[in-house]
Structure 1
Amino acid sequence: MEFVWESTVFTIIAFLVLLWLLSKYAFGPLMGIMEQRRQLVQDQIKTAEESRLQASQHLEEQKQALQQARKEAYEIIEQSKVTSNKQADDIMQSAKAEATRLKNEAVSDIEIEKNKAIAALRSQVGGMSVMIASKIIEKQIDEKSQAELVDQYLKEVESK
């Protein structure tokens, strides 16, 4: 085999032209696309990380808001309990005062009615005493008849 230098030079030139054409039309755009793809992936990773951080912050905010809402609800419940206890005490005091007032009025009414009944009874007893005395004077009767007459008038008083 013999060495042909023209063929070697021609092969080297063809190789360099092919390399130049490939780098201009194939490797350049391919590397540009690869760089764009790499940049896109990095941007997506960065966006995903930011979204994860924002989601984590929102989750923390939601937890704090929920905890605050629970605290406020507990305070409202406690305040409601205190208010209801106070209202119950006020109602009980009012009911006791009303019961005492009604009781005092009833006692007063009973006392007035008792006094009226006593006055009426005195009036009737006085009238009957006069009637008994006049009957006794009209009829001079013995003690037995007088006791029967008194019993009869007492029965009349009781029936009225």
Structure 2
Amino acid sequence: MNVYLSTIIFTFINFIILLFILKRFLIKPVNKIMDDRQDGINTSIKKAKDDEEKAAISREEKDRLLHESKVKGREIVKEYKVNAENISQEIIDEAKKESIIIIERSRVEIEREKEKAQSEIKKQVIELSLVLAEKALEQHIDEKEHRRLIEDFIFKVGS
């Protein structure tokens, strides 16, 4: 049993030395590499979560800005539409005022022309009456001649 016991003890001591060497030179560096790798993975996961949160916030901000832009665009369009309607109404009102002024001027001008024509007709009637009276005084008029003079007068006044 001595041989076996010494071999067992020697093997056991070798195992402990090997275990110590492995622990010192292999397990610690491997654990350090594994820990570093785990930290890198955790950092990447945390960064990915942060990026995802930032993306969600950016998406919400973009959606909010888009909604605000649409609302503001509608307000601007509505405002321009109201302005255009106001300007259109002003133009229509101004055109109506100008047409009333033109119509009134035309009426005044027509009235003047009418008065002028009536005055001219009166002058012609007076002149014709004078001419008729001269002819009537120059000669003795019988009824037949009287009718002819009246018809001549009417004919001249009509033209």
* Greater mean deviation of Cα atoms: 144-153 or 29-38: 144-153
Question: 5+ residue gaps in structure 2?
Answer: none
Instruction: Using the TM superposition, give the Cα deviation of residue 146 of structure 1 relative to its aligned residue in structure 2, in angstroms.
Output: 2.1
Question: 5+ residue gaps in structure 1?
Answer: none
For residue 122 of structure 1, what is the aligned residue in structure 2?
A: 122
Instruction: Using the TM superposition, give the Cα deviation of residue 3 of structure 1 relative to its aligned residue in structure 2, in angstroms.
Output: 5.6
For residue 133 of structure 1, what is the aligned residue in structure 2?
A: 133
Q: Which whole-Å deviations, capped at 9, do the CAs of 1:104-137 have from their partners, x for residues lacking one? A: 1011101111111111111111001011111222
Instruction: Using the TM superposition, give the Cα deviation of residue 92 of structure 1 relative to its aligned residue in structure 2, in angstroms.
Output: 2.0
Instruction: Using the TM superposition, give the Cα deviation of residue 2 of structure 1 relative to its aligned residue in structure 2, in angstroms.
Output: 7.8
* Structure 1 residue 26 corresponds to structure 2 residue 26: yes
In structure 1, C-alpha distance between the alignment counterparts of 2:144 and 2:25, rounded to whole Å: 159
> Following TM superposition, where does structure 1 have runs of at least 4 consecutive aligned residues deviating by more than 4 angstroms?
none
Instruction: Using the TM superposition, give the Cα deviation of residue 151 of structure 1 relative to its aligned residue in structure 2, in angstroms.
Output: 2.0
Q: Which whole-Å deviations, capped at 9, do the CAs of 1:48-93 have from their partners, x for residues lacking one? A: 1111111111111111111111121121122122222222221222
- Note the aligned Cα RMSD (angstroms): 1.8
For residue 4 of structure 1, what is the aligned residue in structure 2?
A: 4
In structure 1, C-alpha distance between the alignment counterparts of 2:146 and 2:157, rounded to whole Å: 17
In structure 2, C-alpha distance between the alignment counterparts of 1:62 and 1:24, rounded to whole Å: 55
TM-score (norm 1): 0.90
* Structure 1 residue 68 corresponds to structure 2 residue 54: no
In the comparison of the two structures, how many residue pairs are matched? 159
Give, as a single letter, the amino acid of the residue that structure 2 aligns with 1:78: K
Give, as a single letter, the amino acid of the residue that structure 2 aligns with 1:158: G
* Greater mean deviation of Cα atoms: 126-135 or 139-148: 139-148
For residue 98 of structure 1, what is the aligned residue in structure 2?
A: 98
Which structure has more relative contact order (CA 8 Å, sep 6+)? It is 2
